[in-house]
């Protein structure tokens, strides 16, 4: 990671000319050439949290993703786009649909760029040196295969972390079970630590913020679109988050990811600002009201973690014992018991890769009663 905490701010009134505005923001910090050598595989990680269209301001705008594809190609890199959506649907189709509805699938196809669905493309177990909540993690294979990693966050509030930006954006790189474990940690500070664990392993090279239309109130998905009219860039995700959270009227030191990251030596409390002065573009986003998880007592969160489950299981009457799932299960959770295959729920990370690749549709989903009730509402 380049230790350059310069953050650029460039006004951007809408998405019609966003490529030029992003180019200006990048040039102000030193340009893409500083991190891309010709032929490098450059992973663009937008925020594709949910199955929502661009105008809802939940996901990174496709015009921003398209601009980065073009700029990376012009710098000699090979762009690829990837993400795994949030827990919005109890099966393995959520990310595919979120990529389609967000307009990002169309961008990939128009730019001739590989599109990676983190939910189904596999995970690798890794050590997290110095991790506070996770000493080991499963991370999307796509992260390990990239030479350069670029965070493309959306400027939004977040009920649990107050603000979500370049660091929190990498939550989409871990499987759902780990996300669920992190969400149900005892408080928002611990959740911030978990997010910084993920960030500390990934060590992204650049962040470009979609701050044209963001989200205020009960983000990251239940708030209201809010205009901020900027794009921002930094080689340092934490520095960018410090400035972006201040830009929307929040105290950056109240944001758990900022606090946890600074305490571990990432970023800087006072990044160097270039481009338009912060005071000229500051807005005031409505704060989130708190979030159910944050307001819940710890014992209730623990009980929910146990009961809010969507587990895969193998329908043995359909299973042909081809073992494709066994060979591709990164958690080694599929075991032979009495001549049939069973999924060990303790080991399973709920990535649903087995469900995706089974040629006989033998991997089915069992929802807990609580999930069924929540989905009905
Ligand atoms: S991939 Fe499907 S058919 Fe093959 S062993 Fe696994 S569950 Fe059975
Ligand atoms: S059993 Fe299936 S869902 Fe569970 S970790 Fe293995 S591949 Fe993923």
Q: What is the DSSP string of 194-248?
A: HHHHHHHHH--SEEEEEEEEEEESSTTTSSEEEEEEEEEEES-HHHHHHHHHHHT
287 plus 314 within the same structural domain: no
52 plus 195 within the same structural domain: yes
* CATH label of the domain that carries residue 319: 3.30.70.20
Q: Give the domain-ending residue among 294, 321, 339.
A: 294
- State both tokens at 37: 């050598």
The pTM assigned to this predicted structure is 0.84
95 plus 49 within the same structural domain: yes
pLDDT of residue 303: 66
Q: What is the pLDDT of residues 211-242, one digit of tens each?
A: 999 999 989 988 999 999 999 999 999 999 99
Q: Give the domain-ending residue among 247, 270, 294.
A: 294
The answer to whether 92 touches 356, Cβ cutoff 8 Å, is yes
204 plus 333 within the same structural domain: no
- Residue 122 CA to residue 120 CA, distance in Å, equals 6
Q: Ligand 2: does its nearest atom lie under 6 Å from the Cβ of 281?
A: no
User: 308 pLDDT exceeds 70?
Assistant: no
Residue with CA closest to ligand 1 atom 6: 325
Report if residue 51 sits inside a domain.
yes
CA neighbours closer than 13 Å in the CB half-sphere of residue 297: 2
Q: Give the domain-ending residue among 294, 321, 344.
A: 294
* CATH label of the domain that carries residue 70: 3.40.50.11440
- Cβ density class 151-167: b for 16+ within 10 Å, e for less: bbbbbbbbbbbbbbbbb
Stated length of the chain: 377
- Residue 75 CA to residue 38 CA, distance in Å, equals 7
User: 184 pLDDT exceeds 60?
Assistant: yes
Question: Which ligand 2 atom sits closest to the C-alpha of 332?
Answer: 6
Q: Ligand 1: does its nearest atom lie under 6 Å from the Cβ of 360?
A: yes
pLDDT of residue 304: 65
What distance in angstroms lies between residue 174's CA and the mean position of ligand 2's atoms? 13
Specify the range with the lowest mean pLDDT, choosing from 185-199, 228-242, 309-323, 348-362.
348-362
325 plus 267 within the same structural domain: no
Q: Ligand 1: does its nearest atom lie under 6 Å from the Cβ of 343?
A: no
79 plus 124 within the same structural domain: yes
The number of folded domains in the chain is 2
pLDDT of residue 90: 52
Ligand closest to the CA atom of residue 343: 2
Domain holding 23, by residue range, is 6-294
274 plus 350 within the same structural domain: no
Report if residue 1 sits inside a domain.
no
237 plus 332 within the same structural domain: no
What distance in angstroms lies between residue 120's CA and the mean position of ligand 2's atoms? 10
47 plus 96 within the same structural domain: yes
257 plus 321 within the same structural domain: no
What distance in angstroms lies between residue 96's CA and the mean position of ligand 1's atoms? 22
Q: Ligand 1: does its nearest atom lie under 6 Å from the Cβ of 340?
A: no
State how far Cα 198 lies from the chain centre: 10
User: 171 pLDDT exceeds 80?
Assistant: yes
Q: Ligand 1: does its nearest atom lie under 6 Å from the Cβ of 336?
A: no
Q: What is the pLDDT of residues 310-334, one digit of tens each?
A: 788 999 999 999 998 898 887 899 9
State how far Cα 232 lies from the chain centre: 18
């Amino acid at each position: 990671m380049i230790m350059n905490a310069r953050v650029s701010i460039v006004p951007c009134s809408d998405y019609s000319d966003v490529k030029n505005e992003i180019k200006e923001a990048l040039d102000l910090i030193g340009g893409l050439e500083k991190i891309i050598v010709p032929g490098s595989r450059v992973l663009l990680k937008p925020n594709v949290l949910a199955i929502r269209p661009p105008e809802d301001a939940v996901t990174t705008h496709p015009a921003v993703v398209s601009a980065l594809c073009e700029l990376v190609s012009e710098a000699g890199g090979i762009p690829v786009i990837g993400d795994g959506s949030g827990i919005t649907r109890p099966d393995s189709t959520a990310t595919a649909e979120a990529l389609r509805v967000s307009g990002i699938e169309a961008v990939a196809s128009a730019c001739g760029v590989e599109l990676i669905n983190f939910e189904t493309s596999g995970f690798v177990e890794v050590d997290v040196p110095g991790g506070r909540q996770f000493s080991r993690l499963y991370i999307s294979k796509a992260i390990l295969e990239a030479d350069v990693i670029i965070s493309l966050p959306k400027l939004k509030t977040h009920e649990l972390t107050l603000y979500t930006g370049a660091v929190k954006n990498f939550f989409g790189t871990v499987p759902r079970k780990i996300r669920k474990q992190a969400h149900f940690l005892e408080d928002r500070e611990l959740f911030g630590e978990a997010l910084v664990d993920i960030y500390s392993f990934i060590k992204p090279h650049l962040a470009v913020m979609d701050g044209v239309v963001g989200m205020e109130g009960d983000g990251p998905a239940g708030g209201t679109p809010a205009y901020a009219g900027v794009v921002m860039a930094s080689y340092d995700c934490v520095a960018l988050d410090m400035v972006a959270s201040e830009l929307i009227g929040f105290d950056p030191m109240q944001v758990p990811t900022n606090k946890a990251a600074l305490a571990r030596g990432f970023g800087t409390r006072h990044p160097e600002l270039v481009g338009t002065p912060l005071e000229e573009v500051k807005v005031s986003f409505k704060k989130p009201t708190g979030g159910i998880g944050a307001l819940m007592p710890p014992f209730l969160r623990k009980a929910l973690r146990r009961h809010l489950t969507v587990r895969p299981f193998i329908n043995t009457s359909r299973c042909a014992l081809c073992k494709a799932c066994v060979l591709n299960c990164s958690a080694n959770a599929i075991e032979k018991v009495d001549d049939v295959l069973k999924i060990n729920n303790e080991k399973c990370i709920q990535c649903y890769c087995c469900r995706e690749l089974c040629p006989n549709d033998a991997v089915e989903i069992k929802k807990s009663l609580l999930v069924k009730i929540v989905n009905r509402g």
